[in-house]
A and B are shown apart, each in its own frame.
Chain A
Amino acid sequence: MPSTSSPPAPLLPGWYTLGEPPQLIGSHCAGCGSHYFPRLATGCRNPDCSDSRLEDVPLSHNGRLWSFTTASYQPPAPYVAAEPFVPFALAAVELERERMIVLGQVVAGVDLDTLRIGMAMELVIEPVPAENEPAGRLLWKWRPAGAAP
């Protein structure tokens, strides 16, 4: 059985940096300027661009809230829930530079009534429950920009 003190590993290795500030890692097309998340192995998806050389780039750490909702019931597997399940919020955030909308959980403790479409949001990395790993796994989440950690 793994020790409870082992540091959590990323849930999706290579999808985000763990540094400060954390960032999602996407693909950027030098040919047309398009961004993608998650990273693309199949070349640019712009039908008018034949460029297949995509480079890995960190995406904006900040964005604007595009919309939000809740997971009030426990999602099915492969979602791993804490016991008991704690409902959580989800946010779709439009990244500042890339104008790409990225979905993710909202950090715990944010009052839904304080969320406003258009408000500034920032990316954080937090553990989420994982099977047989008490420390959980690290995943990106959204929180209102400047909110206390």
Chain B
Amino acid sequence: MSREVVILGAGMHPWGKWGRNFVEYGVAAARAALADAGVAWRDIRFVSGGATMRCGYPGYVAGATFAQALGWQGAEVNSSYAACATGSQALAAARAKILGGEVELALVVGADTTPKGFLAPARGERPDDPDWVRFRIGVTNPTYFGLYAQRRMHLYGDTVEDFALVKAKNSEHGVHNVLARYRKRFTPEEVAASAIVAAPLRLMDICATSDGGAALVLASRDYARRLGRGDAPRLAAISVVTPTFPSALLEMPDLATDGAMAATPASFRAALPQKAYEEAGLGPEDIDLAEVYDLSTALELDWIEDLQLCPRGEAAALLRSGATRLGGRIPVNPSGGLACFGEAVPAQALAQVCELVWQLRGQAGARQVEGARAGITCNQGLFGHGSAVIVTR
């Protein structure tokens, strides 16, 4: 790539259950990112919004909604929706504009206000929609997390104590993050004492849904140099590949995999970082920290293996060795992860990148991963959307 794209600014609105309009969170995050970048809103020539499906029409056209709230100034605008990968998709749109030489400076924003309890499908009697059918049958998101966790216990000998240790580890990290919703240390014993939701997983193994907002300011390397910020972290890769046929794993919201008689199934989760590694010209051995989508504690262990940070089946051993905690060989979710944030769908993938930016700049305070030079994020959403992003210094 002849042109390079850097991240000039990162900003977030704290995660919580505030119950306010999502636009407030997005605007606060955008202003924080602009201030962090040291650029004026007027100079942004492309606004890329991560859409939300839970806040009515302004949410569907989030890019324009945020641009209007910040003050119409004639920039080009985009709105992206890709489930949990929404932020990365919005990020990819902005990066493409800069790589194509059309603009020098872009703003990416995602924010959400979530309802209480389980995420539920759109209303009406819609048996053609697999999302409707699975909820009618009683299959919620935690159902899938429970199935995967049980599978890990069977295949690799993971225990519920391992899963609880993931939560305890992430809570240790989140204590140091003022942007996190939950900033309390939890012991494995406290996790084990919480109610079963989707066996073997308990309430504290499963992430909550939250309100929050996150934003990034992207620029060409040349533009950053002219601002005296030529050393800004580089957006080295964005992977948004689809799964390949046939599906290997029962994925949300499906009730069945493809039959596997015609071809050999391959892992979707593993394909996401693989493409990002190839694009960045890096391997798992080059990664200093990872922000992974811990929708459940057990899922963090799956991701660690999908990222090839250890061989398949050995993530629990890696966790027990302390390697994935701050100060370890490869800290995972130094931000505290979804365990401490809760999921704010269109903002989450951007929040993961915000953490990488602060870590690579050495600004993460008590959460700092010493000498971090490369970080990776990953997440997976419904209907074959997922992403992995690599940022380097």
- The interface of chain A, by Cβ under 8 A from chain B, is 11-12, 26, 29, 32-38, 45-49, 66-73, 75-80, 88-90, 92, 95, 98-105, 112, 117, 128, 139
Question: A36-B259, A46-B262 in contact; A12/B133 too (CB < 8 A)?
Answer: yes
Does chain A have a CB within 8 A of B51? no
Q: B129-153 CB contact bits vs A (8 Å, 1 = yes)? A: 0101111111110110011111100
Question: Which residues of chain B (239-269) have a CB below 8 Å from chain A?
Answer: 244-246, 250, 254-263
Q: How far is the CB of A138 from chain B (nearest CB, A)?
A: 12
20 contacts between A and B (CB under 8 A): A34-B258, A37-B256, A38-B133, A47-B245, A49-B262, A69-B146, A69-B147, A71-B198, A72-B195, A75-B135, A76-B120, A78-B125, A78-B136, A90-B138, A90-B143, A99-B261, A100-B256, A103-B137, A103-B147, A104-B137
Q: Is A69's CB under 8 angstroms from B258's CB? A: no
Contact between A75 and B140 (Cβ–Cβ < 8 Å)?
Answer: yes
Given contacts A33-B262, A36-B258, A76-B120, 7 further A-B contacts (CB under 8 A): A69-B198, A72-B198, A90-B146, A102-B255, A103-B137, A104-B137, A112-B199
What distance in Å separates the Cβ of A60 from its nearest Cβ neighbour in chain B?
A: 10
Cβ contacts under 8 Å, A45 to chain B: 245, 258
A108 CB to closest chain B CB, in angstroms?
Answer: 13
A117 touches B261 (CB 8 A): no
Question: Do A77 and B198 have beta carbons less than 8 Å apart?
Answer: no
* Residue of A26, A34, A117 ringed by the most chain B CB atoms within 10 A: A34
Inter-subunit contact B199/A69 (CB<8 Å): yes
Q: Known: A68-B150, A69-B198. Contact between A38 and B256, CB under 8 A?
A: yes
Q: Which of B120, B136, B140, B259 is close to A100, meaning CB atoms less than 8 Å apart?
A: B259
**Closest 7 CB pairs between A and B?**
A69-B146, A35-B259, A76-B120, A99-B260, A67-B147, A98-B259, A100-B259
| In the assembled complex, B121 has its CB within 8 A of some CB on chain A | yes
Q: Is B143's CB under 8 angstroms from A71's CB?
A: yes
Distance A88 CA – B259 CA, assembled complex (angstroms): 27
- Please report which residues of chain B, range 261-286, place their CB below 8 angstroms from some CB of chain A when the two chains form the complex: 261-263
- What's the dominant secondary structure at chain B's contact region? loop
A38 contacts which chain B residues (CB < 8 A)? 130, 133, 255-256
Q: Is the CB of A139 within 8 A of B258?
A: no
A139 CA / B258 CA spacing, docked (Å):
21
- Could you say which of A35, A36, A79, A117 contacts B137, with CB atoms under 8 Å apart? A79
**B195 close to A117 (CB less than 8 A):** no
Q: B154 within 8 Å of A by Cβ?
A: yes
User: For the complex, is B196 an interface residue (Cβ under 8 Å from A)?
Assistant: yes
With a cutoff of 8 Å between Cβ atoms, the chain A residues found around residue B140 in the complex are 71, 75-76
Given A67-B148, A79-B136, A92 and B250 contact (CB-CB distance below 8 Å): yes
Query: Does B228 sit at the interface, judged by CB under 8 A?
Result: no
Task: State in angstroms the CA–CA spacing of A33 and B142 once bound together.
Answer: 32
A100 touches B260 (CB 8 A): yes
- Is there an interface contact between A70 and B120, defined as CB atoms closer than 8 Å? no
Complex Cα distance, B125 from A102, in Å, reads 22
